[in-house]
Amino acid sequence: MTDVIVSESNSGSSNLFQIDDNWKKLTGKGVSVAIIDSGIDVEHPDLHGKIKESVEAQRENKRIVFEPSETGDSAGHGTACAGIIAKIAPDAQLHSVKVLGAGGIGDGQTFLAGLEYSIKKRYRVINLSLGTTKPQFFAPLHDLLDRAYQAGCIVVAAANNLPQPSFPSVFSSSLISVIKSAETDPYNFGFHYGEIIELTAPGVNVRTPWLGKGYRNLTGNSFACPHIAGIIALLLEAYPDLTPFQVKSALYAIAKENQENPARQTNI
DSSP for 202-214?
E-SSEEEEEGGGE
User: How far is the C-alpha of 178 from the C-alpha of 58, rounded, in Å?
Assistant: 29
Residue 222 appears among annotated catalytic residues: yes
37 annotated active-site: yes
Dihedral sign of CA atoms 223, 73, 147, 6 in order: negative
**Marked catalytic residue, from 77, 166, 169, 177:** 77
CA atoms of 50 and 97, how far apart (whole Å):
14
Could you tell me which of 115, 74, 75 has the C-alpha nearest to residue 95?
115
What is the C-alpha to C-alpha distance for residues 149 and 169, in angstroms, rounded to an integer? 14
How, if at all, do strands 199-202 and 190-191 pair?
A: antiparallel
Residue tagged active-site, from 37, 41, 46, 73: 37
Q: What angle do CA 164, 166, 167 make, to 5 degrees?
A: 160
- Coil, strand or helix: which one is 84? helix
Asked if residue 125 lies in contact with residue 152, where contact means CB atoms within 8 angstroms, the answer is: no
Which residue among the candidates 38, 69, 74, 222 is catalytic per the annotation? 222
Annotated catalytic residues are: 37, 77, 222
